[in-house]
Amino acid sequence: MAYVETQPRSAGLLSRAPSGGLVLGAIASVQFGAALATHLFNQLGPAGTVLLRVATASIVLVAIWTPRVRGRTRAELVLAAVFGLVLAGMNLAFYESIDRIPLGTAVTIEFVGPLAVAVIGSRRPLDLLWVGLALTGILALTQGGTHSLDGLGVALALIAGCLWGAYIILNGRVGRAYERGTGVALSMCIASVALLPVGIASGGSNLLEPKSLAIGAAVGVLSSAIPYSFEQEALRRIAASVFGVLMSLEPAVAALAGLILLGQSLSAREVIGIALVVAASAGASRRIGEAPVDA
């Protein structure tokens, strides 16, 4: 028998919102949240900041969706656990990356994950053009210029990108297996537990300071609670191709957030690099003619 629960009012609000608006809102929320999070790095380190982000987001999501374990199959619980570990790894790698390289650059490099999801399995020759454009854009970001990028920061962004690709695939499956946001809420709880050792080691007693808790709560809502809920609702109703086209705007939004909140200006070469990756991601996504994830 299928598990049935009373849906909170927020579920109705999300279901009535335009799918495109949900994705764009998620993009803006997560990137401006990431820019805000960098202000905690000196005090908590990237790992401590990630722990606060994910833990506070978990509290918000559990309060909204009240997920339950009883009545779930073993396969559903394993799916939530795997998704939670992917969330933990993706967020940790990304925050460690933006501690070393600019936000816009990190997100652009990270975007190899969604791009790979868009083109994997395709046999169309035109898709090679999109891959070539993306590689050219990433090379423009990582080569030349007046400053060199931190190699570890680039590697961490690539790891985050691989996990981002896994996140996109798993998010749709969790959305189909669980009602509304209950699956992502449960997975975020698992991610919080997984991040406890590294987060406590990095942040220590500073994790409990009121200012840190306040900023961490804001980051958790902006970077996790809002975007994950928005994206999962959008993935129920739109094709993966459309989702990918909209998500291709993320590097540009990240660069804008870095400029406005962090003063991270970009050279003309870096702007061109980001533009190439955005164009490649949009083009590749439009070539994938998948049906909507959920009717």
Q: Does residue 293 lie in a domain region?
A: no
Give the range with max mean pLDDT: 97-106, 149-158, 170-179, 195-204.
195-204
Q: At what angle do helices 250-262 and 268-286 cross, to 10 degrees?
A: 150
pTM, two decimal places: 0.81
pLDDT tens-digit series, residues 160-197: 999 988 988 898 799 889 987 899 899 999 999 999 99
Q: Does residue 2 lie in a domain region?
A: no
Q: Does residue 112 lie in a domain region?
A: yes
Sorting pLDDT into bands at 50, 70 and 90, what band is 274? Answer: confident
Q: Does residue 214 lie in a domain region?
A: yes
Average predicted confidence (pLDDT) for the chain: 83
- What's the confidence (pLDDT) of residue 190? 97
The terminus-to-terminus CA distance of the chain in angstroms comes to: 21
Query: Are 294 and 176 spatial neighbours (Cβ–Cβ below 8 Å)?
Result: yes
pLDDT tens-digit series, residues 47-77: 999 999 999 989 988 998 889 888 899 999 9
Q: Does residue 4 lie in a domain region?
A: no
Q: Does residue 11 lie in a domain region?
A: no
Q: Does residue 171 lie in a domain region?
A: yes
Q: At what angle do helices 9-16 and 226-237 cross, to 10 degrees?
A: 60
Q: Does residue 157 lie in a domain region?
A: yes
Sorting pLDDT into bands at 50, 70 and 90, what band is 79? Answer: very high
Structurally, how many domains does the chain consist of? Answer: 1
Round to whole Å and give the CA distance between 109 and 155.
9
Q: Which domain holds residue 198?
A: 18-286
Under 8 Å CB-to-CB from 98, ≥6 apart: which residues? 34, 38, 46, 106, 153
- What's the confidence (pLDDT) of residue 112? 83
